[in-house]
Structure 1
């Protein structure tokens, strides 16, 4: 076991539209291991939930977790990983801003005997990864959206829809392609008329408002993540749509706010659960702990894909979010 440096609590994440802290450490007396976590952007509500759960669950398991926010800057993330190497941590969990920018520094970490665990973005040098089956996740979202279009607007010649994507990441491009393919195949009367990037809820609000201002006949919006879905739901309502049965918004991540919106009968009609931020935080700690204890670990692991809609939203909420 490596020597564990003192870790001092420093701030907490703020959910929703507020900015997240750039650094948070946990004081875990008698911790057996230290783990550094660097995320591409903790303004994403799912990821902010994840790192907090990883920290609290890690403490239960005797693992001190220190997480930092790269805020979308790959050079800063390289520096963060170098700092973790200097701190002599036992493992580093990485949600990459840009995977190719991390080739050298992740190799350096492994050469120093540090376990490297990737999350969502594929790394070149790693000991284990927890990944999204990106295309099929997107397809599940697009299938739910297409079925809603067919059920509600199947007789119309053209149904306009918008997509909130995030083309900065190859895996998210695959997710968006899955959405588009499903809608095109299953709702041939659907016409994509607007696209824009969305990572945060703030992005989602702006996009939905802009989409509907430019395309007042739009009936559906699909998003590649929970941030855009959460904000998009509010943006649709702010645009003056009051008949929520007439508009469909479809998300991915199944955040607490998304599920509550579905239960409330808001514009959002479904979301695709990949396990949720809390579950991912625990899974990443379990994978890392197994690596550090020299247990056999499957190198590439994938998140589950489950569509959450009005038929199962309450059950999902009670299981994942109820106190």
Structure 2
């Protein structure tokens, strides 16, 4: 009889222990199979999909970001969607399936990614968007693209005001990519910046062409120069616009050292090729409107955002969009930026 009583007591104790074990499991944000919110780990799994690695700026920053992720020992996958929204959606779906802790998207088409990013969040995966103020993300790391464009236009205006007057206005070409929402905003901001900061009547826009990548920009600028041989100021939305138009102008004028002082290229992004052209002082590159600084500076700032998001920081409401700073780089500051490349 005593043995039976002891057996019953042991069974009850075991069942109670099992119940306690189940009920003390750390809660998740929406189901036992989802990731713990703000769980602190030594290493994370990150999926990254960007528009294109053919873009010199992105290739440079992503290269530095990869170095930093390797140093931290994180597991990561970096993919290029070739500016195809359908491909990018599939990449995000694969990141979800592979069990990423966080996914970063640099959208080809932000609207096309909203649904799949929500699916990722439903699985407890953090989602960061670089460039677009998306809705279905943990946080967006963005530029105010209109303000960035304004700064490019303002910087270009200083160059135009120095070299041109209403009697002899500058002929200006705007290089953009209007099919991409943020770049359309950037190009419109450039035009606003020119209008607000140029002296009255001292410039006119004679052409607007596509040119996100260098080869495309060079080809289109060469066509502009054939149709408008007096076009001398080129403003654009990215590194490709600067690299391509600078090459076209070097060919037109016979190489470095032969560019007239009133011919100039001003765009954004920061690549070593841009910086070296600016540092040389005898090419058409006159100023670059950059962000955090060098490619290394931007990669570090991006990784800091990863860590903030993965730590469970609150990015709700007005904190959802984290706006990046911008600043102009000229011949006086270029050497310091190059040190960090």
Alignment partner, residue 128 of structure 2: 117
Greater helix content: 2
* Partner residue of 2:75 out of 64, 81, 87: 64
Matches within 5 A, 1:72-87: 72-87=83-98
Matched, 1:269 2:280: no
Q: Distance in 2 between matches of 1:146 and 1:290?
A: 38
* Offset of residue 295 of structure 1: 3.8
Larger deviation: 130-139 or 52-61? 52-61
Alpha-carbon distance between aligned partners in 2 of 1:254 and 1:137, rounded to the nearest angstrom = 14
Q: 1:173 aligns with which of 184, 204, 211?
A: 184
Q: Please list, as runs of the form range in 1=range in 2, the aligned pairs for 1:40-51 lying within 5 A after superposition.
A: 40-51=51-62
State how 1:80-119 maps to structure 2 within 5 Å.
80-119=91-130
Give the aligned partner of residue 217 of structure 2.
Answer: 204
CA distance in 1, matches of 2:321, 2:295: 19
Paired residues of 2:216 and 2:244 also in contact (CA < 8 A):
yes
Indicate the residue corresponding to 2:300 in structure 1.
Answer: 282
Q: Structure 2 vs 1, CA of residues 43 and 269 (structure 1 numbering), >3 Å: closer, same or farther?
A: same
1:19 matched residue in structure 2: none
CA contact (8 A) 2:267 2:289 kept: yes
- Structure 2 partner of 1:23: none
Look up the match of 2:247: 234
What SS does structure 1 have at the residue aligned with 2:261? Answer: helix
Q: In the alignment, what sits opposite 2:36?
A: none
1:302 to 323, 326, 337: 323
- Of residues 108, 111, 135, the one that matches 2:146 is 135
Q: Is the 8 A contact 2:249 2:259 kept in 1?
A: no
TM-score, length-scaled by structure 1? 0.85
1:139 & 1:82 partners in 2: Cα distance? 37
- Structure 1 or 2, whichever has the larger Rg, is 2
Normalising by structure 2, report the TM-score.
0.81
Query: What is the rounded CA distance, in whole Å, between the counterparts of 1:311 and 1:280 in structure 2?
Result: 20
d(CA) in 2 for partners of 1:224, 1:46: 12
Partner residue of 2:22? none
1:16-75 Cα shifts (integer Å, max 9, x gaps): xxxxxxxxxxxxxx9721100000112111111222222221122232221001001100
CA distance in 2, matches of 1:52, 1:283: 14
Distance 1:107 1:287, change over 3 A: same
List runs of 5+ in structure 1 lacking aligned partners. 1-29
Distance 1:31 1:53 in 2: 21
Cα deviation, residue 291, structure 1: 2.1
Structure 2 stretches lacking a partner, 5+ long: 1-40
RMSD: 1.9
Q: How many residues align?
A: 292
Of residues 140, 157, 162, the one that matches 1:151 is 162
Q: Quote the Cα distance in structure 2 between the aligned partners of 1:197 and 1:212.
A: 14
Rounded to whole Å, the distance in 1 between the matches of 2:270 and 2:48 is 23
Report if the CA contact (8 A) 1:47-1:277 is conserved. Answer: no
